[in-house]
Amino acid sequence: MTKAELVAEIAKKSKLSKADAERALNSFVDTVKKTLKKEGRLALAGFGSFVVSKRKARKGRNPQTGEVINIKASKVVRFKAGKALKGKL
């Protein structure tokens, strides 16, 4: 599903205009970004939780040349589905 399809579905189910639905979705995404940057965790009961975790530096391999390369340490966002979401899959 693309963002446009998601906006259309939100608009249809909530009886909002597509513009209002897109603003709501953008607000949600911005809030998630800010919360993860500030607190490192966001939990939505029944849906799941987003957590920032650290990935250590490691060695990798360039698939085209086979050359060993160094991959820097980084932060990644992980999502763990909640019980209610798992039950729907």
Instruction: Please name which of 50, 49, 69 lies closest in space to residue 59, comparing C-alpha atoms.
Output: 69
88 falls in which pLDDT band (50, 70, 90)? Answer: confident
Give the domain 49-89 fold. HU Protein; Chain A (4.10.520)
DSSP string, 17-41: -HHHHHHHHHHHHHHHHHHHHHHSE
What average pLDDT score do residues 49-56 get?
Answer: 96
Return left, alpha or beta for 46; rule: phi > 0 is left, psi -120 to 50 is alpha, else beta. Answer: left
pLDDT in tens, 8-40: 999 999 999 999 999 999 999 999 999 999 999
Can you give the pLDDT at residue 1?
94
Residues of the chain above pLDDT 90, percent? 93
